[in-house]
Amino acid sequence: MNTLLLDALNQRNHRRPPVWLMRQAGRYLPEYAALRRGRSFSDMVHNPELAAEVTLLPIKIFEMDAAILFSDILAILDALGVKWSVEEGVGPLIETPFATADDVRRLPSADVRNDVAYVAKAIRHVLPELNVPLIGFCGGPFTVASYLIEGRSSKDLKKTKLWMLRDPDSFHALLKHVTACSIAYLNMQIEAGVQAVQIFDTWANFLSHRHFLEFSLPYLKMLAEGVKETQVPMLVFSLAASTFAQEIVHAGVQGISFDRGADLQAMRRILPPECTLQGNLDPDILYADKKTVKIEVLRMLDRMRNDPGYIFNLGHGLKPDMPVDSVKVVVESVKTFKP
């Protein structure tokens, strides 16, 4: 078993850093496109055998040090009775977005283990095939709520923020409900065998400091407390991680996954030593020529040299048009790095 990731999450990795990449199983892979032909994304997510197969693709091709379950932060919506899909050229789409406090009041009492049982099945399918840890995940409550309200990807989260400002009480009620479901969801994934979890609170970068403290952080804290007993380490990713790193540490998580803007060496100086740092190569570097990609990866590794709690990753996910060869160069450069 490859233990680099778990060692880094416990600040005791004295070898080269572990590497995995957000969205490592996705459309940039021709093998993914082939499996996806004739099926919707949601079909794939809901099919445990296929989800397991897609999870394994990047591990077989590049041999990353961790696998992340092929699924989506929208899967939890199945437990909220909300219909969702991902449409070609559009992205995530919610059939009937939430618009009023009544929508929150009408939320059904959730049966997470039943409604997203397919995720636990996918985990059980994939585990016997893996020699690296499997990472489970869910969305940050603020980010999930933003999809529920916007109904699709949004450039400004205007509806979400207007609701938050107009009626903070029902907005909190929505966040609480999503959080409770997410805790059950994470614990289900942990019972099924994931060895680490990552929370994707991507869109917290739309919040001011004060609003982050009110509408995102307390719910991240509840998620951390909700899985604490299992001792499974938790990472938090957000495009706001550089801005709110010191605050996120107070949520009681084991690691922070940084967006491209952070200087990780500087973060290491200001964050507690028991906080694992993950990230944060600018994904756009993968569009450059191979030599440039390698130089940039080595630069990053050099800055984090001998850090026992560092995990190499990107500052955000791989995009569909990123070259497979660049991914290969990134993974190989980390794996051949001499600490």
Binding site for ligand CP3 (CB under 6 A): 22-27, 36, 41, 68, 70-74, 86, 91-92, 137, 153, 200, 202, 317
- For residue 16, the number of C-alpha atoms closer than 13 Å in the C-beta half-sphere is 17
Measured from the CB atom, is 56 or 295 closer to ligand CP3?
56
Catalytic residue among 28, 147, 185, 219: 147
User: Least Å distance between CB 317 and ligand CP3?
Assistant: 4
DSSP label at 255?
E
User: Least Å distance between CB 42 and ligand CP3?
Assistant: 9
Measured from the CB atom, is 14 or 155 closer to ligand CP3?
155
Report CA torsion sign: 137, 139, 141, 142: positive
Give catalytic status of residue 27 as yes or no. Answer: yes
User: Least Å distance between CB 168 and ligand CP3?
Assistant: 23
Catalytic residue among 72, 201, 259, 307: 72
**Quick check: bond before 2 cis, omega within 30?**
no
User: Least Å distance between CB 130 and ligand CP3?
Assistant: 14
Measured from the CB atom, is 22 or 183 closer to ligand CP3?
22
User: Least Å distance between CB 314 and ligand CP3?
Assistant: 10
Q: Which long-range contacts (CB under 8 A, 24 or more apart) does 208-215 make?
A: 209/243, 209/244, 211/164, 212/240, 212/244, 212/247, 213/247, 214/168, 215/142, 215/164, 215/171, 215/172, 215/175
Residue 86 exposed, middle or buried by CB count within 10 Å (0-12, 13-18, 19+) = middle
Measured from the CB atom, is 87 or 191 closer to ligand CP3?
87
Give catalytic status of residue 305 as yes or no. Answer: no
Identity of the residue numbered 218 = P
Catalytic residue among 7, 23, 78, 185: 23
The angle formed by the CA atoms of residues 186, 188 and 189, to the nearest 5 degrees, is 65
125: enclosing H helix or E strand: helix 117-126
Measured from the CB atom, is 135 or 293 closer to ligand CP3?
135
SS3 280: strand
Q: Which residues have a catalytic role annotated? A: 23, 27, 36, 72, 147
